Amino acid sequence: MQLTGAEIIVECLKEQGVDTVFGYPGGAILNVYDALYEYRDEITHVLTSHEQGASHAADGYARATGKVGVCLATSGPGATNLVTGIATAYMDSVPMVAITANVGRPLLGRDSFQEVDIAGIVMPVTKYSFIVKNIEDLADTLRRAFYIAKSGRPGPVLVDVPKDITGMKYEYEPCHPATVNREIKSIRKEDTDQALDMIREAEKPFIFVGGGCVISGADQEVRELARRIQAPVCDTLMGKGTFPGEDPLYTGMVGMHGTKASDLGVTECDLLIVLGARFSDRVTGNTKTFAHNAKILQIDVDAAEINKNIKVDASVIGDVKEVLKRLLEEIPKKEHPEWIAHIQELKSKYPLNYDHTQLTGPYIIEKLYELTNGDAIISTDVGQHQMWAAQYYKYKEPRTLLTSGGLGTMGYGLGAAIGAKMGRPEKTVVNIAGDGCFRMNMNELATAARCGRQLIQIVMNNHVLGMVRQWQTLFYGKRYSSTVLDDAVDFVKLSEALGAKAIRVTKMEDVEPALKLALAAEGPVVLDCWIDQDLSVFPMVPAGANLDDVFDEEDMKKHE
């Protein structure tokens, strides 16, 4: 059948099972929006307040559902406003397809109004970027984009379509989406045999879980492995929920703001089993001394990650879930009572701790965990509140913490929360932000209000850029250069003006009733929580230091 390019785009979205897209219209993409109007009963379009909000919403939708997120933008500034969200998705391996419309082909390369080479701009932060120059290539290019986005190590793909192509007609033939198979061809028996030998020989094994376990859906296999070989488990920010936060074998996050039990355990173990993690500098600290007492076994779908940041003793390349399935067929049950007892001693000796005499971020998050029974989807922005959310909310299952781990994008969380709520409307969704982050994309509150779905926005309002100030306190002689937000912004009034309910929380006894009200509400509710500007995140490993240099407030007092 003959369809316009715009109609072909929407039909291809339907082919791929897309039910929700996020975007913002403009002149170059008007044909696509006109087609979306005709398909409005089949595909929900969420009009965000800013294109960056659309990219973060598509990202949050993808992380929460496991499906490909889709965002749309017009040419020029509309397209460039997507770049931060695309880069965020790229760093965290999130499947996303961004569709932009450019000026017509006769106007390309002429510095035309709102013309920009978006395919070139995003090349370093996408798995692939296309510009469609012929309408006969349009459908297959979109199909290929979805396949690339979700195959192997997932990531974002951009498809740029000139306006004249969206308006011309061409024959469209429906096609079933290509099957995306798990990466198993690269799994070699000699590698799995070596891995098995290392696991059998280890007396002090430690399992280190990254975001690849979430992506591959390997949570059950990871849990079985830990119990089979009686190994403690730590995770990265991206690996949260793979292993239950309340399990006795769980030691907490590892790295710069990891628990002492995790940082010391990784340092002391004799085998570190690394599952779907890329050895970020925020995790490893000093790479020369990272896990220096251990042999390191790395399992990852991406061969480029092997020996990139940390030299390992052995590796298996392939989908983590599939590799673990094969290993579990041959791994015997093994107990390490002395090692487990030592780890439990570390957990008892060095628990997470905070000031219980005043309103703090950890108190708010612990109360949120209690009232939601750990069943909410939590999104965050970046900073102290992000670390507190990682430390004090106990994640039961994967895809329940949505956060910018690699790029560290301030302003990410609210858009991601909207995407998550659209993808999983049955779940309670809470975005946790600092006041500095909230300012960056708080206009998306209007989007949340228009969607009319329950969504809770917690603002940890300390009137400073908290994490940067913490570094200034510890390493810059308390010279607070440009980190004090001493203005008259009122988040309660602002939130109400954007269509949300809002509550100011200034005391510990305010927290529970405010959260209960928010959990019972039908639309978005903002909790403006005023906390002290000098609260810090502990434990902490200074950048580039050894993991066993981890310190907390008690250590600082002793040192002083």
* Contact partners, residue 389, CB within 8 Å, separation at least 6: 365, 378, 380, 401, 403, 432
- The two structure tokens encoding residue 533: 């500007």
For 75, phi and psi rounded to 5 degrees?
Answer: -75, 175
The answer to whether 283 touches 254, Cβ cutoff 8 Å, is yes
CA-CA-CA-CA torsion for 540, 542, 544, 549, nearest 10 degrees? -70
Instruction: Based on the residue annotation, tell me whether 114 is a catalytic residue of this protein.
Output: yes
Beta bridge partners of 206: 272
83-91 and 51-65 helices, crossing angle to 10°? 20
Of the residues 14, 38, 113, 509, which is catalytic? 113
Whole-angstrom distance, CA of residue 410 vs CA of residue 265: 31
3-state secondary structure of 277: coil
For the chain, the straight-line distance linking the first and the last C-alpha, in angstroms and rounded, comes to: 77
Query: Whole-angstrom Cα distance, residue 300 to residue 309?
Result: 14
Task: Return the H-helix or E-strand segment holding 23.
Answer: strand 20-24
**Burial classification of residue 248, based on how many CB atoms lie within 10 Å of its CB (0-12 exposed, 13-18 middle, 19 or more buried):** exposed
Tokens 């990682």 -> residue: 390
- Please give the DSSP secondary-structure letter assigned to residue 106: G
For 215, which DSSP code?
H
189 is catalytic: no
| 219: DSSP letter | H
Catalytic residue, from 15, 67, 114, 308: name it: 114
163 annotated active-site: yes
Q: Let me know: does 152 contact 181? Beta carbons within 8 Å.
A: no
Name which of 324, 327, 303, 333 is nearest 315 in CA terms.
303
Q: Which of 51, 115, 221, 366 is catalytic?
A: 51
181 contact partners, CB below 8 Å, separation of at least 6: none
Three-state secondary-structure class, residue 111: coil
User: Do residues 456 and 524 touch, judged by C-beta distance below 8 A?
Assistant: yes
Nearest residue to 299 via CA among 313, 317, 325: 317
How many residues in total does the chain contain? 560
Q: Of 91, 198, 238, 467, which one is the catalytic site residue?
A: 467
- Which of 127, 163, 204, 421 is catalytic? The answer is 163
241: which 2 tokens?
């929920």
Identity of residue 223: R
CA distance 428 to 443: 21
Active site (annotated) includes residue 243 = no
CA distances (Å), origin 380, targets 119, 320, 384: 29, 26, 10
Active site residues: 51, 113-114, 163, 467
